[in-house]
Amino acid sequence: MNDARRAQRGDLAPEAVIENVRPSVDAGRFAAKRIVGEPIEVTADGFAHGHEKTLCTLRYRGPGERDWAELDMEFLGNDRWRGSFTPGSPGLWQFQLTCRVDYLESWREGFARRIDPADVRLAARIGAQLVAQSLARASGADRERLAALGRTLETEQDAAKLRAASQDATAFALARKHAPRDAQCETVAFPVAVERARARFSSWYELFPRSASGEPGRHGTFEDVEERLDEIAAMGFHIVYLPPIHPIGRAKRKGRNNVPVASDGDVGSPWAIGAEEGGHTAIHPQLGTIADFRHLVRGAKLRGMEIAMDIAFQVAPDHPWVAEHPEWFRRRPDGSVQYAENPPKKYEDIYPIDFETADWRALWQALHDVVAFWAREGVEAFRVDNPHTKPFAFWEWLIAEIRREHPNAIFLSEAFTRPRVMHRLAKLGFSQSYTYFTWRVTKPELTEYFTQLSQDDSREYFRPNCWPNTPDILPYHLQDASPAMFRLRLTLAATLASAYGIYGPAYELCENRPRDPGTSEEYLDSEKYEVKHWDRGDPASLAPLVTRLNAIRNAHPALQSDASLAFHDTDSDHILCYSKRSGSDRILACVNLDPHNTQSAWVDLDLAALGLPEDASFTVHDELSGASYPWRGRRNFVMLDPGRAPAHVFSVIA
């Protein structure tokens, strides 16, 4: 059957196939992640049997759109195709690919090899039949142009003129545009979750509002937090994250250092949510009012920052839900409500919610209403406590529902758990995820882990947010550690990942005292159980280094994404070297992982990763110290004294 007859057969199964579509997460079951304004490059293999040419088309549409925009993809060779589109708004975008046999191009290629004039004239008539198929679907000027082409191929006898007509790329592009597509192969619609830029690049600062007072012994307020905003903005942070701001339960309240029984004046853990004043949509009365909170949210936005809320779906024993919805909580054999525990640890001040309740629909709606309440109050960033202990289906539903009304909502998953569970949560919609960085210390550990995060398929959906500490975690390497260890871990977090955070001012002031040295990661005199007063004016504070690192991050696009992360060999187990690049912006970091001793190394650069030729001469400018050095080629020397600086953070000037 010739090309023209095949093109007319609408009952034929597609002869083309599409494989290896990217970006794709679980064959389109989940959405890949991108940000607004970032081109989404789509690639796929599209081919047919034999020597037939194919044509691949990319279709895409934004949230709420019914019609598809469409463009022809670029052929890269070896059956590989590429196309791209740029999303202009947040929300769930979709793309779809089609592939069909390009009978016109297949005919043109064969026609160009014909020699005998009689054969040329006969083959031209086959081309005319193909053009006629497009003519039937065209109108206006396109129809006139195709009609003229068809007449030439049908009636012209001069072989040279027929050859010239077959090379009219503009006319054949029109013919291809209107060609029948009945037998084309078509993919499913692949989703892409498009979020605002803060979902990919952000610096988080965590503080307890009750400790924000400048006066020792006085419970802090939202007004105190607002007075700190200029200081935090000057350090270069984007998001100020507040632990739970709700009333704290009095029943079973924990005392200082997590002792089982509170003393008079003990304030309890903010994560024991709910008391007679209210639950998850109420505010702790000592912090202020809802009007005060709104003023704080506005104050942050005026400074180019935002307030992040903590979402902890658990309750204190005197939370209103315990009395109003007893069916939402599990009972032990003695009839008491099951409190939270992780044996041998017991959390008598917290009741977990029973997601297996028969009343689960009402429960889900109530939890949705909590997030929606704060979203309506202007909160667009949510840090979610322990999402891995709640059903996957719940998070997929909740995040999608919230984003329908609030497409700018960012969700940070605090799930220190098994890798597959962490990754499933990211697939379900969480914008960012806490990581194992907190416990990755050695050069092999850091290299392996961050190569995985930036290079394997999970990079399409899993965005790491690196924290060197949290209120729950004083990792062993920070226990009784020197400021040098705090400096190097801060530098790693801020330069390895485009999203990072610190629990400050504990981190700025190098809080390193463990409650149980070597056996627990709990802080001594943890802020989780008491109001703290921090001496932010301490001359030993790391605030100047924090400020400088954030300024470097904010000034260099290379550090605002993780896709280009590359590691470079060094001949020292103590010197970690890595780079990031965005266009001509190149950052090269060399970090001394030994907080006690000066270390040196020869660095063997992967110049291709830096976008430089093998014999390149270039300048490296240390963004931390201001010093510049001339370098040439692959091998160059570094020496780092941890007492003076934890690292070089070089901008590479070619």
DSSP letters for 82-139: EEEE---SSEEEEEEEEEEE-HHHHHHHHHTT--SHHHHHHHHHHHHHHHHHHHTT--
**What's CA 649's distance to the chain center, in Å?**
23
**Six-digit token string for 267:** 């304030």
In the DSSP assignment, the letter for residue 306 is E
Whether the per-residue pLDDT at 6 is higher than 60: the answer is: no
Q: How far apart are CA 160 and CA 599, in angstroms?
A: 75
Whether the per-residue pLDDT at 253 is higher than 70: the answer is: yes
In the prediction, which pLDDT does 3 show? 57
Task: Please compute the mean of the pLDDT values over residues 76-81 and round it to a whole number.
Answer: 97
Stronger pLDDT, 501 or 181, i.e. the higher one: 501
- Superfamily of domain covering 3-194: Immunoglobulins (2.60.40.10)
pLDDT band per the 50, 70, 90 thresholds, residue 2: low
**Six-digit token string for 268:** 């309890």
Phi, psi of 159 (to 5 degrees): -60, -35
pLDDT band per the 50, 70, 90 thresholds, residue 13: low
CATH number of 197-558: 3.20.20.80
Whether the per-residue pLDDT at 463 is higher than 70: the answer is: yes
Whether the per-residue pLDDT at 183 is higher than 80: the answer is: no
Stronger pLDDT, 519 or 9, i.e. the higher one: 519
As beta bridge partners, residue 48 has 16
Phi, psi of 314 (to 5 degrees): -155, 165
Whether the per-residue pLDDT at 443 is higher than 70: the answer is: yes
Q: How far apart are CA 326 and CA 454, in angstroms?
A: 45
Task: Please compute the mean of the pLDDT values over residues 636-642 and round it to a whole number.
Answer: 98
CB-based burial label for 466 (10 Å; 0-12, 13-18, 19+): buried
In the DSSP assignment, the letter for residue 406 is -
Residue 654: CB atoms within 10 Å: 12
E strands, 459-559, in order: 464-466, 499-503
E strands, 228-296, in order: 239-241
Percent of the chain with pLDDT over 90: 92
Alpha carbons within 13 angstroms on the beta-carbon side of residue 529 total 21
Q: In terms of Cα–Cα distance, which of 159, 212, 243, 249 is closest to 532?
A: 212
Whether the per-residue pLDDT at 241 is higher than 60: the answer is: yes
Q: How far apart are CA 397 and CA 395, in angstroms?
A: 5
470 — alpha (psi -120 to 50), left (phi > 0) or beta? beta
Q: How far apart are CA 617 and CA 636, in angstroms?
A: 11
Task: Please compute the mean of the pLDDT values over residues 625-651 and round it to a whole number.
Answer: 97
Active site residues: 385, 414
Q: How far apart are CA 245 and CA 531, in angstroms?
A: 14
Domain with CATH 2.60.40.1180 in the chain: 566-653
Contact 625/641 with Cβ under 8 angstroms?
no
- Give the 3-state secondary structure of residue 432: strand
**Six-digit token string for 633:** 């080629």
Alpha carbons within 13 angstroms on the beta-carbon side of residue 33 total 26
End-to-end CA distance of the chain: 59
Task: Determine which of 46-55, 134-143, 341-350, 581-590 has the lowest per-residue pLDDT on average.
Answer: 341-350
Q: What is the pLDDT of residues 415-435, one digit of tens each?
A: 999 999 999 999 999 999 999
Give the Å distances, CA to CA, from 213 to 189, 226, 321, 580.
52, 11, 32, 39
Burial 380-397 (b: 16+ CB within 10 A, else e): bbbbbbbbbebeeebbbe
Q: Is the peptide bond before 471 cis (omega within 30 degrees of 0)?
A: no
pLDDT band per the 50, 70, 90 thresholds, residue 481: very high
**Six-digit token string for 384:** 């979610």
**What's CA 94's distance to the chain center, in Å?**
18
Whether the per-residue pLDDT at 654 is higher than 60: the answer is: yes
Phi, psi of 403 (to 5 degrees): -70, -20
In the prediction, which pLDDT does 181 show? 78
As beta bridge partners, residue 306 has 239
Alpha carbons within 13 angstroms on the beta-carbon side of residue 158 total 5
Q: What is the pLDDT of residues 573-602, one digit of tens each?
A: 999 999 999 999 999 999 999 999 999 999
CATH for 566-653, among 2.60.40.1180, 3.60.21.10, 3.90.950.10, 3.60.15.10? 2.60.40.1180
Residue 39: CB atoms within 10 Å: 10
Q: In terms of Cα–Cα distance, which of 202, 198, 192, 201 is closest to 34?
A: 192
In the prediction, which pLDDT does 10 show? 55
In the prediction, which pLDDT does 343 show? 80
Whether the per-residue pLDDT at 323 is higher than 90: the answer is: yes
Q: What is the pLDDT of residues 194-206, one digit of tens each?
A: 999 999 999 999 9
Domain with CATH 2.60.40.10 in the chain: 3-194
In the prediction, which pLDDT does 1 show? 46
- Give the 3-state secondary structure of residue 248: strand
Domain with CATH 3.20.20.80 in the chain: 197-558
**Six-digit token string for 286:** 């000592």
Q: What is the pLDDT of residues 145-160, one digit of tens each?
A: 999 999 999 999 999 9
* Rg of the Cα atoms in the chain: 31
Q: What is the pLDDT of residues 101-134, one digit of tens each?
A: 988 988 998 999 999 999 999 999 999 999 999 9
Q: In terms of Cα–Cα distance, which of 595, 483, 490, 481 is closest to 541?
A: 483
Burial 147-162 (b: 16+ CB within 10 A, else e): eebbebbeebeebeeb
258 — alpha (psi -120 to 50), left (phi > 0) or beta? left
Task: Please compute the mean of the pLDDT values over residues 338-352 and round it to a whole number.
Answer: 89
Residue 419: CB atoms within 10 Å: 11
In the DSSP assignment, the letter for residue 336 is P
Percent of the chain with pLDDT over 70: 98
Instruction: Name residues whose C-beta falls within 8 Å of residue 73's C-beta, 6 or more positions apart in sequence.
Output: 42, 44, 46, 56, 57, 58, 81, 82, 83, 97
**Six-digit token string for 77:** 């060779």
